[in-house]
Structure 1
């Protein structure tokens, strides 16, 4: 009876000790608590209320912004890049790694429990005793447990840091998705632009060849001089020199596009034939720039998560100055015969606290707090710099698209006028009313204006892709990828 009551008291004492430990573990955390910087709210876009050509300020869904170009090939390329891009796969792996590490850190709040079983054969020495001690076998089975009580919040601060780092990897993927989608679109627009410029150059070479033949026939008839033939040959040959550089740049962009899709070179060749014009956006594009757009950008959110993590590490370093309290215990059975392992009287247990404190390296610990605190300041400066860069990118993209829309209209008028001048000058030359130099100048101007117009079309679409990238268009896709 007395033995039963003693066991009951021991059990109650253990429960009381456990409850005290839980209460202690909920104590305040040392170190600074994170406070969201007001910098992102204080920084405002200076051009957000302005009027921009081709942009309509109204609510718009920019998650799948590339669909406004109504180009099935572009849609296919971006979807494939999201699925197969190597950088995206690496970022996904980093998320899984960080999520697992977050789980490891959280598990430190729980007791560590190990099971053990052993068998040992031994014999005590009988030297000098005159007593014959026979050999014996020791059997034991038990459970060992240890639990660090988070008195000062070191473990909870570590969890804060680990969770913030995990969230930062998610934002890194979000930012990468934005960049990959925009880069694929940019490469596609550049490819279509270069294909058009190659076609224009070939067309001009054919036209100049006809003019060269006409000059040669006029010289054979004694109507024109050899100078005109040489001038025509010079223009014709000069235009031919443009093709190699255009084709080289076209090939480089096609190969880069294959790389962005996670595929070997040549993979997209069939997708890019037959040739097509650069897809242009609608005349009026709906753009919504909410006041909190800066904080919605994943690079800003990533910088903030890293700041949260580093702030928590200051608390982890501060907690090292304080004593560490742990509970340890073991419960098991032991006997000299395996049949007696679970018999009455074979049980054994131990339970108690352990306190550990750094005594002789406290200066090092204080220096480590300074290290972590300075890193937190650096993380704050990085956050502020990221916000400023975000403002710069958005404003630059808005102005660039606005000005490009204006320029494209002028380029269109210029290339139409250049074609009219070219046609009229050829007619006048055949009639002998103007000098051949006028025709040559018209040829060069027409080629230049047509190429500039195609470049302007491509830049219009490229600058809109840059604007969507700056506004964090498309980044919500990452949640579907992770899940």
Structure 2
């Protein structure tokens, strides 16, 4: 006769279902997330992320200036606006070889691996294979030692010595009932994004530093050329002053020493500029991932200071939120910390797990894989952290406070980005105007020096007048070189403030200076692996807790 298993009455099943719903409601009520929000969040406790409000201006202060356009610009290869092939080569070589950029790339690889570790927690967290052998010697003098007759089938339980061989495995799987592990994946994804943005920011800074150093180098070279030209003019003044002294001309006793002192001062300035030029070249070499060495073969000799164009497109201030990598990185860190709040809140709820173990055990190794040697256990478990004396709640407050800190940091980063862009715009407008004024002043000073030289030779003026005019010429030419450098530098600062240049990592690697031409320099390091392009941050549900 076959007896069917007893079925639970319908009323009992209803009671069990209602009890389950009541228990779930009680659990949710004991935490920070209500039932409605729990289901709305996709069976996850804690707030869903929403990008914080961003304080940005509606337009640039100088948006009405005809040389500033609010149209979106293409900043992918912004340094090409200078039409300088040497600068283009330096940027590409630095992108291919810079060591700091490589370091940032490895941080991205670390974040990718860390994300994989976190994602693995969705699956059984403990999966172990065990194999061991034990030899046991038991004391026969204890009260716990069993007294079993030798003829009993259970006599082996009283054996004072025995061996045990075991091969098997265990598994423990905590179910992601409250979204703890899914929130951890959200945090890891956001941190991976932030590491990519950090790489992009390092690339923006690198390109800006290369362009800045190159402009500085060309400015120093022009000032060096000006000093050498003035030294040649002053050498002629020394020759004339010495000739007048030899001829015992009137008031010539002071002219020769004064002319020689003036020449010595200029020659000393030449040496100072040569030092500065070498130091700037060394900085360029390091930025390109090379030991400091002579870069003449790359720089192709002295060249004019890169000239800034008369017009530039800067878009609108709101574009800084998605264009600048440092702003995007700050926002991604906020998103990661928002997920940490959900992880902390999940500790208020019980943890449901499935645990299991199976093994083959035998006293003799030859018996270990017999069917009778197999054994195991499996079953659910519940763990609920209670009576933690405020530790769990205070940890949630800690995570929320960190979230608010990162929100403030994100908003401050946007304000600083806006400030940097405004400062660069006003500098660009006024320094380019200053160049026109300095060019005219230098032209007039050169003409005055030419006339003064003629009059001094003819004895119409004394050397003091010539000395004053020569100092004026040197000063005006130096100021012109500085103004041209400032104008180019202000444009570099502007493109850097707008977050331009990081897009080149989306291009196929092109390398820089061929390694066969790096006379004594190290071989090129392959360009960093192309990273995913940043995506616009989606508007998500509110962060109300």
**Which of the five TM-score ranges fits, normalised by the shorter chain?**
0.7 to 0.9
The Cα of 1:151 is off from its aligned counterpart by 2.2
Residue 29 of structure 1: aligned partner: 44
Query: Bigger shift: 364-373 or 342-351?
Result: 342-351
**Which residues of 2 match residues 424-435 of structure 1 at below 5 A?**
424-435=451-462
Matching of residue 87 in structure 1 with residue 87 in structure 2: no
Residue 114 of structure 2: aligned partner: 101
**Whole-Å separation in 2 of the counterparts to 1:65 and 1:46:** 20
**SS state at 1:143 partner:** strand
Matching of residue 220 in structure 1 with residue 235 in structure 2: no
Matching of residue 46 in structure 1 with residue 68 in structure 2: no
**Whole-Å separation in 2 of the counterparts to 1:254 and 1:297:** 29
The Cα of 1:43 is off from its aligned counterpart by 3.6
**Whole-Å separation in 1 of the counterparts to 2:407 and 2:313:** 34
TM-score scaled to structure 2, two decimals? 0.78
Residue 285 of structure 2: aligned partner: 258
The Cα of 1:122 is off from its aligned counterpart by 4.5
1:275-310 deviation line (CA, Å, top 9, x unaligned): 222222444445444742333211111111111111
**Whole-Å separation in 1 of the counterparts to 2:455 and 2:61:** 51
**Whole-Å separation in 2 of the counterparts to 1:443 and 1:133:** 113
Residue 161 of structure 1: aligned partner: 187
The Cα of 1:399 is off from its aligned counterpart by 1.0
**Whole-Å separation in 1 of the counterparts to 2:388 and 2:504:** 49
**Whole-Å separation in 2 of the counterparts to 1:211 and 1:124:** 112
Residue 139 of structure 1: aligned partner: 165
**Which residues of 2 match residues 317-336 of structure 1 at below 5 A?**
317-336=344-363
**Which residues of 2 match residues 172-321 of structure 1 at below 5 A?**
172-225=198-251, 226-266=253-293, 268-289=295-316, 291-321=318-348
**Whole-Å separation in 1 of the counterparts to 2:70 and 2:186:** 39
The Cα of 1:408 is off from its aligned counterpart by 0.6
Matching of residue 114 in structure 1 with residue 128 in structure 2: yes
Decide which of 471, 480, 486 is 1:459's aligned counterpart: 486
Matching of residue 387 in structure 1 with residue 408 in structure 2: no
**Which residues of 2 match residues 410-429 of structure 1 at below 5 A?**
410-429=437-456
1:137-180 deviation line (CA, Å, top 9, x unaligned): 43333231111112222222222222211111111111110001
Decide which of 364, 374, 381 is 1:347's aligned counterpart: 374
The Cα of 1:95 is off from its aligned counterpart by 0.9
Query: Structure 2 vs 1, CA of residues 380 and 31 (structure 1 numbering), >3 Å: closer, same or farther?
Result: same
Gaps of 5+ in 1: 6-23
The Cα of 1:123 is off from its aligned counterpart by 6.0
**SS state at 2:219 partner:** helix
**Whole-Å separation in 2 of the counterparts to 1:214 and 1:231:** 12
The Cα of 1:427 is off from its aligned counterpart by 1.6
**Whole-Å separation in 1 of the counterparts to 2:179 and 2:439:** 67
**Whole-Å separation in 2 of the counterparts to 1:269 and 1:376:** 51
Query: Bigger shift: 133-142 or 262-271?
Result: 133-142
Number of equivalenced pairs: 461
Decide which of 422, 430, 451 is 1:403's aligned counterpart: 430
TM-score scaled to structure 1, two decimals? 0.88
The Cα of 1:224 is off from its aligned counterpart by 3.7
**Whole-Å separation in 1 of the counterparts to 2:111 and 2:294:** 33
Query: Structure 2 vs 1, CA of residues 289 and 44 (structure 1 numbering), >3 Å: closer, same or farther?
Result: closer
**Whole-Å separation in 2 of the counterparts to 1:296 and 1:87:** 22
The Cα of 1:440 is off from its aligned counterpart by 1.3
**Which residues of 2 match residues 366-385 of structure 1 at below 5 A?**
366-385=393-412
1:313-338 deviation line (CA, Å, top 9, x unaligned): 12222222222221111234334454
More helix by share: 1
Gaps of 5+ in 2: 6-37, 151-157, 508-527, 531-545
Query: Bigger shift: 64-73 or 99-108?
Result: 64-73
**Whole-Å separation in 1 of the counterparts to 2:344 and 2:506:** 33
**SS state at 1:39 partner:** coil
1:156-215 deviation line (CA, Å, top 9, x unaligned): 222222221111111111111000101011101111110111121011112101111101
Query: Contact (CA 8 Å) 2:57, 2:317: kept in 1 or not?
Result: no
**Whole-Å separation in 2 of the counterparts to 1:405 and 1:358:** 67
Query: Structure 2 vs 1, CA of residues 314 and 267 (structure 1 numbering), >3 Å: closer, same or farther?
Result: farther
Query: Bigger shift: 105-114 or 153-162?
Result: 153-162
Residue 21 of structure 2: aligned partner: none
